Amino acid sequence: TARLLRELLARSPGYPRVDLVTTDGFLYPNAVLEQRGLLDKKGFPESYDRRALLDFVIKVKSGASVVTAPIYSHTIYDIVPDRLITIESPDILILEGLNVLQPAPAGSAHLTVSDFFDFSVYVDADASDIRGWYLDRFLALRRGAFKNPHSYFREVALLSEEEAISRGLGFWDEINAPNLVENIEPTRERATAILRKGPDHVISEVQIRKI
């Protein structure tokens, strides 16, 4: 959705410069997550370097000519050492991520990333559909990217289809589903717009929050 939005915005009148950054790059490295006992909480709010993400957004919003962000690799399942993505004065920056609408911790007056958004979109769907899409993607990766010898999940490529399905659903039940219910879905109403997707990925409903 974010990549499609980038292409559409880039073709709008005036042909603005549109950049896309994912918050995956602001996950703590695996070594840090392991040290803090958070490797099984990867993708949860506490697994992100929220200070670094906030600093990045503030710099872009304040008009800094060049801003850099870390790069995350889904192959090695970790931050890529010594590599950065460079953002140079975009007209529009799309920040894509699961937890970009997270509020400040209870009782805290700290700024949040979403305080700097001009417009935010939450892509909504039934949990059963999201589960199915997740499993489809997991199995597709098993047939492709997981076969890379450098892949963090290379052993999954050696599993039978049945074993791979069991492994994927285990990841969903233990990590993704709890994160969806506990952290992601509660931020839905904070979005400027909610796009509702059906089982076929087609947008079936659009809600715009009255400002």
Residue 31 pLDDT level (bands cut at 50, 70, 90): very high
In tens, the pLDDT along 173-211 reads 999 999 999 999 999 999 999 999 999 999 999 999 876
3-17, 95-109, 123-137, 181-195: segment of lowest average pLDDT:
95-109
Element (H, E) at 67: strand 67-73
In tens, the pLDDT along 45-74 reads 999 999 999 999 999 999 999 999 999 999
As a whole-number percent, the residues of the chain with pLDDT over 90 amount to: 94
Question: Nearest-CA neighbor of 20 among 84, 94, 105, 73?
Answer: 94
Tokens of 44: 């949860």
Question: Nearest-CA neighbor of 123 among 96, 157, 83?
Answer: 96
pLDDT at 109: 65
Burial of 166 (0-12, 13-18, 19+ CB in 10 A): exposed
Q: Name residues whose C-beta falls within 8 Å of residue 101's C-beta, 6 or more positions apart in sequence.
A: 114, 120, 122, 187, 188, 190, 191
pLDDT at 22: 96
Tell me the whole-structure pTM to 2 decimals: 0.92
Does residue 151 register a pLDDT over 80? yes
For the chain, the structural domain boundaries read 1-118, 121-211
Residue 107 pLDDT level (bands cut at 50, 70, 90): low
**Which CATH class name applies to 1-118?**
alpha beta
4-18, 100-114, 143-157: segment of lowest average pLDDT:
100-114
Query: Mean pLDDT of all residues in the chain?
Result: 94
Does residue 106 register a pLDDT over 80? no
Question: Nearest-CA neighbor of 94 among 44, 23, 191, 188?
Answer: 23
76 or 110, which is more confident: 76
The three-class DSSP label of residue 81 is: strand
pLDDT at 104: 82
Give the whole-angstrom CA distance, residue 179 versus residue 133. 16
